[in-house]
Each structure stands twice: as C-alpha cells, then as structure tokens.
A and B are shown apart, each in its own frame.
Chain A
Amino acid sequence: MERVVEVIREKGASTALIIGFFVFWELFCLMANISDILLPRPTQIIAALIKFWPAIWPHTYQTLYTTLVGFSIGVVIGLLLGILIGSSKLAYDTAYPLLVGFSSIPKVAVVPIFVLWYGAGTVPAILTAMIICIFPIVVNVATGIATVEPELEDVMKTLKASKLDILWNVSLPRSMPYFFAALKVAITLAFVGSVVAETVASNRGIGNMMMIASSSFNVPLVFAGLFVLAGLGVALYVLFSLIEYRVTGWAHRKTDLAAT
C-alpha cells in the first residue's frame, strides 16, 4: 500500500506538470485571444488530429517505417563499429578522428546529397535517420568495451581466453547499459533525421504533411503532426526503456533489485 502511494506521488508530479502545461497553453490562447493561425489551442489540435486522421495515418506509417528501418540499420552498424573501435586501440586511434568529423556535419546538410543519389522519397529519409543515430551508439559501445577493468582482463588472459571469449563473456555484457542509453538517444534522433529528410524531399511522411499543411495555413494540422511525432518518440523511448530494464537490470540495482 505504501508503495502504491509512493508510485502515485512519484508519477503524480510529472503527470500534473504535463496536464498543467496543456491547460496553461489552452487558457493562455483563450485569454490572449491568439489566432489559431499563429498558435492553435490543444483542443483545436486534437480536433484536427481526429478530423484528418484518415489522411494523417499513411504519413504516420511512412515516418515510422523510415525511422525504424534507418534506426535498425544504424544500430547494427553502430554496434559493430563500436565493438571494433572499443576492442582495438589501433582501430580507436585510426577511426575516431574520422568518425568525429562525420558526426560534426549537420545531418540536414547531407539530405540533398542523398536526394541526388537516390531521388526524393523513402531512401533519403532512411539514410538520414541511419547516419544520425550511428554516432551515439558507436561512442557508447566503444566506451563500454574499452573501460573493462584491466584486472579482469588479466584474469581472463591468464585463463587463455581468446579475444572473442573476452568480448562475449565480459566486454559485450558490460557495454549493454551504455548501449541502451545510446539507443534511447538514437531513437529520438532518428525521428529528427527522417522528418528533416521528409520535409526537404519527399511526398510522403509526417514532415511532408506538415510542410503542405503550413503552406495552406492549416496550422492545427501542422501541430497535429508535431503531436504525432512526439507520441511516436515517447512510445519508442518507453519501449526501449522497458527492454533496457529487462536486459540490464543489474546496472540499476539500487532502485529495486536490492529490495528483493
């Protein structure tokens, strides 16, 4: 019972803040008499969301699709690169500067290049989502692998463990908390990538829908697009948090494992 009260108190504050935010927004627009062309009220946005849902849905699907495909490819590449860079000093020293160089390029700037190569549409969105989420994954996985305690490495080496043994039994499990932390950052970044690409060059997707809506001054629909993106982002973030908790619960032991 006490625990339930505690959870309510914990979650209550954040829920109240979210509700309060929207209530404030609604009231502010009403009292200041702000036109819905400038800033629609949350109720208007939700109305637009319901009204245009049959039209919004295919765009939502498209954005979700490009984001997830790009994200998945990015995760695989990022994980492999992270393992490579983290487990070899030579690879670390060689590849890191190049990687930093790539990552410091604003990803919006590469969209035109992808369009040039693949034409407008799905592929540039996937590629943009992909490259934007590689870097945080590489850095985190490499850090997790490179920071294995030297004593533990010595113990493994005296057992004549191969590099693969060490990677599989020690380094990889150890880097999982880092990996999941990166996944949560990467999934939200992947949305940024795909939406930017859709905005610049696509005839489908939430980004494209928002461009069209704004050019016809359907501002509630523009905001409805934002709401959809926020919803998708939060849902995927929560999903990865849950998986993270299952896989790397040992790294969060202070919260509840200790109580068992």
Chain B
Amino acid sequence: MNAHDGQTGSASPGALAPTFIEFENASITYGRGERAVQALAPTSLKVSEGDFVALVGPSGCGKSTILKMVGELLKPSSGHVFVSGREIGAKAIRIGMAYQNPTLLPWLNIRDNVMLPLKIVPPFRQEFRSKRKGEFRDRVDALLTQVGLAGFGEKYPFQLSGGMMQRANLCRALVHDPDLLLLDEPFGALDQFTREELWAIMQDLWLSKKLTVLLVTHDLREAAYLANRICVMSSRPGRILDDQIVDLKRPRNIDMTFQPDFVALNQRLRAMIVGARGGTGIVNHAPGTA
C-alpha cells in the first residue's frame, strides 16, 4: 500500500539485536463511514531490542498513536503490531510510560508515587506488603538518587518544581524494571536548561539499564541527542517519511549538539518536517513556517 514500507522496515540499525517491536502495515482510523479519519496510514516499522528510537513530526501526525499502539492502549484498525515477537496481548512484557504531564498523585509523597507500579505489576505486586518498607523502599530511593532527587522521597508533588516532578515521573516509569519505556514528550513543558539536564539523566538511565525506548518529541535536538534512530513522520494521515540513524558516539553531551555534524543532522530533520507540514515533501520557504 505504501512505497515507504519496505524502506523503513529494513532501515533498522544494529541488525544483530533481535527485533523487539514490529509494525506490519498497522493503521489507525477514527470514526466510521464518511466521517472516518485516518490518523495513521499503514505503517511498517521495526525496532531492535535495546534500541532508542525517536519519533518526530508535525503536530497530529500520529506519533503518539504509534506509542499508544505499542502500549496496548490502541488496537490497530488494520495490520498488526508485535511486541516482543508476538501479537500484542500474547505475552506480558513490562512497560513504563511517561507523559509531558507528570500526573503524580497529589495525596502520595514522592516515594509512594514512584512505588505505585510495584503495587500493581507482578511479580512485585505479590511481595508489596512485605517489602514496601524494606527492599522496595531502597530501590525507589536508589532510583531517586540516580535522577538527582535524593532526600526528596518524603516531599509531596506540589512542593517540587516542574523539572523535579518530571524526574519523579521518569522514576515511576522505570521502577518496575520495564523492558520497554514509552516517552511522550516527557520534557516538553520544561525550560531549556532543565530539559538539557534531563537529557543527560535519561541517557545515563538508558545506558545503565539497557532497555528499549520509544520517544515522541517535537524537539529535534532532543531526538538527536538521545536517540540511536530518528523516524520522521508526515502530517496526517501519518506515515514514516524517513528513518535517520544517529551515529554519534556515547555518552553524548550538550557541547556535541553545537558540532557541525549534529547541526547538519538537525537541519536535515527540520527541512523534512517543514516539508511534511506543507504536505508536499518539498521544503517550504513561505514566511511564518520558520
């Protein structure tokens, strides 16, 4: 159905690692009949285990839709989505998710907020009562320390700044050792400096835990800083236009984002998205798009 399918499907880097997520002509259509809107055109995509993939594109292009399908929050209208090699629902893998809105529970302190997944996800769930004051508490505190929130476990969310809440949100998404982390613009609402700080933290977490990450973002620098691979999407109905491999060495730092190769990559991505917004695939020089 789509000329890009084959191309995007095979562009996966690190071909040695087994495929972890696979989209097979998966599409999403909202509504029925004449009012049906295709949010995501049939899309094929492969993500290797342990990879870090960013999805970028204009607003409303179906980036979050892809994330939701992987997280089993949406079923494809057609085609298939396989996670961990099987059809969704077949095997339980652990997933962590973080949105731009930190959605911490205001009646729990930070430690209990971060601990929430342990209360729900097996096998932690069965041991929650016996370990919540011991092993689990240490586990949460270690994670909080890793993101620079040591000593904030007793604080309540409203006593924290936006950046700190987002760190706690990341901890909550990671505390149950997920195989897969889904991030939907997690740093979008933060100021530039806090955001850059969190990129470094996110990179460290990924390097230390070796989990698969899918990141939806509007920020091209963020995508290039964090990801191994960047998928550029077209405007609605969303398609994957291009699949860029980011072969910058790790660990990356902010200085690297001002180097010529990084800037060049950013400009390429930007040109593609500007084109996608126009829907022509050609860079649009009309005023107001800058």
Contacts and interface: CB of A to CB of B under 8 A. Distances in A.
Given A158-B95, A159-B176, A257-B156, A149 B101 contact: yes
B56 interface: no
A36 interface: no
Given A158-B182, A250-B156, A253-B158, A165 B120 contact: yes
B103 A155 contact: yes
B188 to A, nearest CB: 12
A157 interface: yes
Among A157, A170, A248, A258, residue most surrounded by chain B Cβ atoms (within 10 Å): A157
Interface string B269-290: 0000000000000000000000
Interface in B91-120: 92, 95-99, 101, 103, 105-107, 116-117, 119-120
A250 B95 CA distance: 29
A interface, over-half SS:
helix
B197 interface: no
Interface string A152-172: 101111111100010001100
Among A151, A154, A158, A161, residue most surrounded by chain B Cβ atoms (within 10 Å): A158
A160 B156 contact: no
B252 interface: no
B68 A154 contact: yes
Contact of B97 (A155, A170, A173, A253): A155
B72 interface: yes
Nearest to A260: B159
Interface string B67-101: 01001110000000000000000001001111101
Among A151, A154, A156, residue most surrounded by chain B Cβ atoms (within 10 Å): A154
A249 to B, nearest CB: 9
Given A159-B176, A250-B107, A253-B156, A154 B120 contact: no
A242 interface: no
Contacts of B158: 253, 258
Nearest to B104: A152
A159 B106 contact: no
A251 interface: yes
B15 interface: no
A214 to B, nearest CB: 49
Contacts of A151: 99, 101, 103
Nearest to A176: B107
Contact of A156 (B106, B120, B156): B120
Given A154-B97, A155-B98, A158-B73, 4 more contacts: A155-B97, A155-B173, A159-B117, A251-B107
